[in-house]
């Protein structure tokens, strides 16, 4: 079982950048594919980005493609989400998640473990 702790959220102006981190513990990090999801007030949780556990292949939601970058450092047991050119509509609680299966998943049900979330607020 893996435990996940997100950090790096905060308040930023539109056009600014933030880097979220998700530190994993309790199991071998490289065994897990990782994903980021977000949930805005009154909305369902949605997929943001994912990175696979073997090839490191990535995929992104259309709304963040070209602005966000997911990466992982297996030596540091951490997955990152670099967010550039932030928009007010990016405001949400951001969650990282881990999956044991191969490949990436766009669905919450494809993930086995979740962090507690970190708040990102983008002001206009």
Sheet arrangement for strand 3-7:
3-7, 18-25, 78-83, 68-73
Q: What was the pLDDT predicted at 55?
A: 86
pLDDT, averaged across the chain: 96
Q: Report the pLDDT value the prediction gives residue 25, as an integer from 0 to 100.
A: 95
Rounded to 5°, the CA angle 92-120-87 comes to: 80
80-99 pLDDT, tens digit per residue, is: 999 999 999 999 999 999 99
What is the structure's pLDDT at 96?
98
Taking the C-alpha atoms of residue 109 and residue 101, their distance in angstroms, rounded to an integer, is 12
* 8-60 pLDDT tens trace: 999 999 999 999 999 999 999 999 999 999 999 999 999 999 999 988 899 99
Neighbour-count burial for 96-116, b at 16+ CB within 10 Å, e otherwise? bbbbeeeebbeeeebbebbbe
Task: Using the predicted structure, report yes or no on whether residue 107 has a pLDDT greater than 90.
Answer: yes
Give the residue, 36 or 104, on which the prediction is more confident. 36
């Amino acid at each position: 079982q893996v435990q996940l702790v997100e950090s790096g959220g905060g308040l930023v102006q539109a056009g600014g950048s933030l880097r979220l981190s998700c530190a994993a513990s309790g199991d071998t990090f490289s065994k897990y594919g990782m994903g980021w999801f977000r949930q805005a007030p009154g909305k369902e949780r949605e997929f943001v980005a994912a990175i696979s556990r073997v090839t490191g292949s990535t995929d992104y939601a259309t709304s963040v493609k070209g602005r966000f970058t997911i990466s992982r450092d297996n030596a540091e047991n951490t997955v990152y989400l670099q967010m550039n050119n932030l928009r007010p509509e990016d405001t949400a609680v951001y969650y990282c998640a881990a999956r044991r299966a191969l490949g990436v998943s766009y669905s919450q049900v494809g993930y086995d473990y979740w962090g507690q979330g970190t708040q990102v607020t983008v002001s206009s």
